Amino acid sequence: MKNAWIAVAGLALLAAGANAQQRERVANEGTIGDKWMLEDGTTLATPVYPATQASRGDNVCVALGYRIEPDGSTAHFRVLQQWSSAGSRQTDPAYWEAFARAAADAVAQWRFQPRADAGTPVPTVTVATLTFNGDPTAASADIGGNCRIVNLNDRLAQLGIKRFSDRSITAHGEFHRRQRVGEVMQADAAAHRQRRP
């Protein structure tokens, strides 16, 4: 009986250890450098302005959440914040989907490798602010400032996201949009309009 208890306790510890290794780490934009670095020979691909929206010439930013997998690939893309110079006039889901897909297509090309001193790679959830300049005179930093997420944990909580890998945009694939995320983004847009002079 004692041996059975020890075996069960040992299996429970192994399972807990494996589960702890698969937990997601959340890192604010620009703070993954302590655990990850770009894979040798990799550059950060930039998004291409969607051809379907080119005639509009809007400036757009997308704060795209993504997860760095233990193998260094990127996956589970989610729009966490978006903004357009078209303002509240832009309500067409196809408009936002075009920019979300372009952002996901770019980030899907990013590859990372764990730092040598970082230990076992842990899936890391982070965010990238991507800009689309429809007006060449607009500064990317100014556009991106409309989407910048200072505290990713707070933003995920605000959107009701507990497990990042649920529902996402797949690069070159189907776009999944959660109703709650859409509602929070609409509220954010309304608040942003009220702050403008």
- 91 in a structural domain: yes
DSSP result, 114-138:
E-TTS-S---EEEEEEEEE-SSTTS
What are the tens digits of pLDDT across the range 65-95? Answer: 999 999 999 999 999 999 999 987 777 889 9
Residue 3 forms part of a structural domain: no
CA 56 to chain centre: 25
Over residues 1-6, the mean pLDDT reads 46
- Identify the residue whose tokens are 């776009």: 175
- Amino acid in the structure at residue 76: H
Q: Establish if 11 belongs to a structural domain.
A: no
Q: Where does the pLDDT of residue 169 fall: very low under 50, low under 70, confident under 90, or very high at 90 and above?
A: low
Rg (CA), the chain: 20
| Predicted pLDDT at 195 | 45
Q: How many domains does the chain have?
A: 1
Q: What is the CATH number of the domain that holds 65?
A: 3.30.2420.10
Of the two residues 76 and 172, the one the predictor is more confident about is: 76
pLDDT of residue 18 exceeding 70: no
Decide if 113 is inside a domain: yes
Burial class of 158 by CB neighbour count within 10 A (0 to 12, 13 to 18, 19+):
middle
**What mean pLDDT do residues 95-101 have?**
94
**pLDDT recorded at residue 168:** 55
What is the pLDDT, as a whole number, of residue 129?
97
Would you say how long the chain is, in residues? 197
Does residue 1 lie in a domain region?
A: no
pLDDT in the model for residue 63: 96
pLDDT by residue (tens digit) across 23-61?
Answer: 889 999 999 999 999 999 999 999 999 999 999 999 999
Q: What does DSSP assign to residue 38? A: E
Q: What is the span of the domain harbouring residue 67? A: 24-195
Mean pLDDT (whole number) for 120-134? 95
pLDDT at site 85: 93
- Give me 46's structure tokens: 């930039």
Q: Report if residue 74 sits inside a domain.
A: yes
Q: Is residue 2 part of a domain?
A: no
C-alpha 110/C-alpha 157 separation (Å) is 26
pLDDT tier at 185, thresholds 50, 70, 90: very low
Look at residue 130 and tell me if it is in a domain.
Answer: yes
Residue 68: name the closest of 119, 154, 147, 127 by CA.
127
C-alpha angle 98-101-106 in degrees, rounded to nearest 5? 130
Give CA angle at 196 (182, 55), nearest 5°: 65
